[in-house]
Structure 1
Amino acid sequence: MAQVWINGKKDAKLDPSDRAFAYGDGVFVTMAVDSSGNVRFLECYLQRLHESSTRLGFAWQASEDLLQLITTIAKSHPLHCLKLQLSRGCGGRGYSAPTAPIVTEVLSVSGIPPLYAEWRDKGVSLTLSSVELAAQPLLAGIKHCNRLEQVLIKSQPLPEGYDDWLVLDQQQQVVEASMANLMLLMPRQQKLVAVFPSHSHSGVSGVMRQQLVLQLLAIGIDVEMRPVALHELAQAKHLLLCNSLIGIVDVNRAAEWTFERWQHTSQLQQKLVPQ
């Protein structure tokens, strides 16, 4: 069971009128702790929370007390997952937000599923989800607390032999997997180009996606972020998943297409996956 701190207090109670509980009015990140008890890319996660909360209208910055709590918990929980959730807090009338919100900070720690290490070793297979993501540019890219689309996706039983879902939007564009970002490696003029599906209308733009882009540029691979039609998977030589907990994972099969494992995956795992 996860251990939880609310506004710095362990096992405190959440007010049932809290807006994240009532309306999903908040944002969150999940962060991996390495074997030395350090949170990988912590500054990037905190910056993402600041940017996301600003987009929702309640700009937030991490206090020194919160930073110390994160550091302390991480040191005592190597190779675990930390989740930091921000709520606009309580107040307001109905959906209308309070004019001076007091942000609720919820920090929790839990184990990382052992299955993810197996995925990194063997790769995964994806099948097409019947749940299509709606377009909402004002929320696109943000990991907000209303995850009902993902709940619906995960509520369907996976067919035998598949590990996760390939998720499209209502225009039949590829967006992501159920809990991870996607990257296609496509041949072009005798080299590979990394293509990330655009998140301008739906989807979550993860911190690991950002870090992967930086690593790709460092090894000389061009990067594009644009809409990706489903049929373009047929042109991809490699397909990969990424998120903060699984790191980088080869996709062996997605829907009707198969893919080769990429020779640089292990190298990138060493740089990006908690060790």
Structure 2
Amino acid sequence: MWINGVAQAALPAGDRSVQFGDGCFTTARVMNGEIQFLDAHLQRLQRAVAVLRIEGVDWQALEREIVGAAQSEQEGVVKAILTRGQGGRGYSTAGCSGPTRIVSVSAYPAQYHKWRERGVKLALNPVMLSKNPLLAGIKHLNRLEQIMIRMHLDQTDANEALVVDTSGCLVECCAANLFWRKGNQVFTPDLSQSGVDGIMRQHLIRVIESASPWVLHQVCETPETLSDADEILICNALMPILPVTEACDRHYTGRHLYNFLHQSF
């Protein structure tokens, strides 16, 4: 792990990521020593920093550190965190020392290779996401909802969770975005009120909208909409896409959309 470019594992307790979850992050896949979708990951952080109004990020240093962390990895995961740094009285951001950069590298989740072949099972989760249009879409450091979702998921035999917001509309999974297909119509949840607009979600939307036989809709729908779906898939920057074989006690065998999108990598 590197903090502001220095190999170390200790972060000051006064850092606002510790005190308030004041920051953002992105998690990237490494293949053959290179970050996949590097530009998109940096753009994601830039968007989050703009929303959170974190000033003074050394973007060139961060990119060097991300690229450097990946160079020795054949397959792995690089995580980059930006915090507002130390300082500030209470919630006030006045007097902060400047952003903290944290970059770490870890092994690639082995289960994704297995799930890609056999598919995954989704279970409807009782934890609902709150609505907040200001923070919707970005990957900020406040992940308590996802922790609670994961705790419930771990009590089931499912691989991932189906998560709704407080109005009952589908949003995402615990750590992935969601797509489903009905005929030539493809649907993904509208994330204007909550959820994370993932790197892979953005990529798949571009592929579907630019050069495909499918028509894409971003919708607010309850889980019941999946009952007559022909196909479901989930995605994130690491998976990158996985077919769903079961959700809410219904089984799915279609892979037409999955096979088409898989060719885009």
TM-score band w.r.t. shorter chain: over 0.9
- What is the TM-score normalised by the length of structure 2? 0.93
- Cα pair 1:175 1:202 within 8 Å, conserved: yes
- Counterpart check, 1:113 vs 2:106: no
Paired residues, number: 263
Cα distance in 1 for residues equivalent to 2:55 and 2:196: 19
Deviates more, 1:5-14 or 1:201-210: 5-14
Tell me the alpha carbon deviations over residues 193-233 of structure 1, each in whole angstroms, 9 at most, x when there is no partner.
Answer: 22110111111110010011122222232211121222111
- Cα pair 1:167 1:175 within 8 Å, conserved: yes
Question: Which SS does the other structure have where 1:51 is aligned?
Answer: helix
Q: Which runs of 4+ in 1 moved over 4 A?
A: 59-62
Q: Tell me by how many angstroms 1:70 deviates.
A: 1.9
Structure 1 residues not aligned, in runs of 5+: none
Cα distance in 2 for residues equivalent to 1:250 and 1:117: 12
Question: Which SS does the other structure have where 1:144 is aligned?
Answer: coil
Structure 2 residues not aligned, in runs of 5+: none
Structure 2 counterpart of 1:235? 228
**Paired residue type of 1:199:** L
Percent of aligned pairs sharing the same letter: 36
- Cα pair 1:182 1:239 within 8 Å, conserved: yes
Structure 2 counterpart of 1:268? 261
- Counterpart check, 1:145 vs 2:141: yes
- Cα distance change, pair 101–207 in 1 and its aligned pair in 2 (3 A): farther
- Counterpart check, 1:64 vs 2:77: no
Q: Tell me by how many angstroms 1:60 deviates.
A: 5.9
Q: Tell me by how many angstroms 1:234 deviates.
A: 1.5
**Paired residue type of 2:250:** W
Question: Which SS does the other structure have where 2:256 is aligned?
Answer: coil
Cα distance in 2 for residues equivalent to 1:59 and 1:45: 18
Q: Tell me by how many angstroms 1:135 deviates.
A: 1.1
**Paired residue type of 2:150:** K
Cα distance in 1 for residues equivalent to 2:234 and 2:203: 13
Cα distance in 1 for residues equivalent to 2:39 and 2:57: 11
Q: Tell me by how many angstroms 1:45 deviates.
A: 0.6
- What is the TM-score normalised by the length of structure 1? 0.90
Structure 1 counterpart of 2:200? 208
- Cα pair 1:53 1:60 within 8 Å, conserved: no
**Paired residue type of 2:252:** F
State the Cα RMSD in Å.
1.7
Cα distance in 1 for residues equivalent to 2:86 and 2:123: 40
**Paired residue type of 2:179:** M
- Cα distance change, pair 127–186 in 1 and its aligned pair in 2 (3 A): same
Question: Which SS does the other structure have where 1:28 is aligned?
Answer: strand
**Paired residue type of 1:238:** E
Which of 8, 11, 15 in structure 1 is aligned with 2:5? 8
- Counterpart check, 1:89 vs 2:77: no
Cα distance in 2 for residues equivalent to 1:235 and 1:62: 49
Deviates more, 1:24-33 or 1:8-17: 8-17
Cα distance in 2 for residues equivalent to 1:122 and 1:258: 13
Structure 2 counterpart of 1:195? 187
Structure 2 counterpart of 1:104? 100
Structure 2 counterpart of 1:223? 216
- Cα pair 2:3 2:100 within 8 Å, conserved: yes
Tell me the alpha carbon deviations over residues 244-273 of structure 1, each in whole angstroms, 9 at most, x when there is no partner.
Answer: 11111111111132222313424533533x
Structure 1 counterpart of 2:130? 134
Cα distance in 2 for residues equivalent to 1:270 and 1:117: 16
**Paired residue type of 1:7:** N
Cα distance in 2 for residues equivalent to 1:20 and 1:228: 34
